């Protein structure tokens, strides 16, 4: 059974810092991995989708990497801003299954 | 292009009651997936509908049921509500439900069971 873990559960950093969020998964047989952002009490916004054949994806200040063999992904946020404060979720798509989510990392950027 | 919408935004029910949640998929999408997100947890997959047929189900009891309509909107029905059913219910639509598809999420319905 695929399990997804995100560490840390919460992170607080000063504005302007670069930071890394971690995601690990137990089974390397996945179609893709996706990072989402969730604001309090709201739905999910897709940030980056990495197919299994890819190593990384970039969008603006965000960069996500994927190492399938080790079951790890990282989300790098450059020059963090208070508006980046949210919960970040990663999810994997195993074969024949739907999205399996981690519990998320709650990020706070302090002005 | 209209995004995924859900109604109602909030709902309060008592144990034993039944509830229906609604979701309108994004234009051009024929697949809808439903997720349950308990407080502080990641979303858990409930089931998916593709062209009005159930296309995959997570580890949820039969009292969780659904429908998809010809316009690809969808309903989630929960019977005999329990306190643990209190959660944010999210629906997501995609073009085909394929593994390569990105799912677009709605804002969710917050259900509180007293």
- The Cα A91–Cα A31 span in angstroms is 11
Q: How far is B44 from chain A (nearest CA, A)?
A: 7
* B45 closest CB neighbour out of A46, A99, A102: A99
| Average pLDDT estimate for A28-51 | 92
Chain A residues with CB under 8 Å of B100 CB are: 31-32, 51
Contact B33, A34 (CB under 8 A): no
B102 touching A (Cβ < 8 Å)? yes
Residues B57-114: tens digit of each pLDDT: 999 999 999 999 999 999 999 999 999 999 999 999 988 767 667 888 999 999 999 9
Interface A:B, Cβ pairs < 8 A = 58
> A68 versus A94: which is more confidently predicted?
A68
Residue A48 — pLDDT band, cuts 50, 70, 90? Answer: very high
φ and ψ at residue A33, rounded to 5 degrees: -135, 140
What is the Cα A66 distance to its own chain's centre?
A: 10
Distance from the B40 Cα atom to the nearest Cα atom in chain A, whole angstroms: 7
Is A23's pLDDT higher than 90?
yes
Count CB-CB contacts under 10 A for residue B95.
16
**Cis peptide, bond prior to residue A72, ω within 30 of zero:** no
User: What does A4-28 look like in DSSP terms, one character per residue?
Assistant: EEEE-SEEEEETT--EEEEEEES--
Partners of B108 on chain A (C-beta within 8 Å) are 41-43
pLDDT score for B57: 93
User: How far A25 CA sits from the closest chain B CA (Å)?
Assistant: 14
**Chain B within 8 Å of A31 (Cβ-Cβ)?**
yes
Chain mean position to CA A50: 11
B87, closest residue in chain A (CA to CA): A41
pLDDT tens readout for residues B14-72: 999 999 999 999 888 999 999 999 998 999 999 999 999 998 899 999 999 999 999 99
Check B105 against A93: CB less than 8 A apart: no
pLDDT of A97 higher than 80: no
Closest CA to B29 of B106, B90, B92: B92
Q: How confident is the model at residue B78, as a pLDDT?
A: 98
> Does B88 reach chain A within 8 Å, measured CB to CB?
yes
Query: Given a cut of 60, is residue B1 above it in pLDDT?
Result: no
Inter-CA distances, B22 with A27, A104, B7, B72, B107, Å: 34, 26, 5, 11, 12
Over residues A65-91, the mean pLDDT reads 97
Question: Contact A62/A55 with Cβ under 8 angstroms?
Answer: no
The residue of chain B nearest to residue A42, with distances taken between CA atoms, is B107
């Amino acid at each position: 059974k695929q399990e997804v873990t995100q560490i840390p559960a919460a992170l607080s950093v000063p504005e302007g810092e670069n930071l890394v969020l971690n995601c690990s998964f137990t089974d390397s047989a996945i179609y893709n991995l996706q990072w989402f952002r969730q604001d309090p009490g709201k739905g999910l916004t897709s940030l980056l989708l990495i197919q299994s054949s890819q190593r990384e994806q970039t969008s603006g200040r965000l960069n996500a990497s994927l190492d399938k063999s080790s079951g790890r992904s990282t989300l790098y946020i450059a020059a963090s801003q208070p508006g980046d404060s949210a919960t970040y979720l990663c999810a994997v798509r195993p074969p024949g299954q739907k999205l399996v989510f981690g519990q998320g990392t709650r990020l706070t950027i302090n002005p | 292009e209209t995004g995924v919408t859900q109604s109602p935004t909030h709902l309060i029910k008592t144990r034993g009651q039944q509830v229906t949640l609604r979701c309108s998929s994004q234009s051009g999408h024929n697949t809808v997936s439903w997720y349950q997100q308990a407080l502080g947890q990641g979303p858990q997959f409930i089931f998916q509908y593709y062209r009005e047929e159930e296309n995959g189900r997570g580890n949820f009891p039969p009292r969780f049921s659904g429908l998809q309509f010809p316009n690809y909107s969808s309903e989630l029905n929960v019977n005999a509500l329990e306190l643990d059913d209190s959660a944010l219910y999210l629906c997501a639509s995609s073009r085909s439900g394929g593994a390569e598809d990105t799912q677009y999420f709605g804002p969710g319905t917050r259900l509180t069971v007293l």
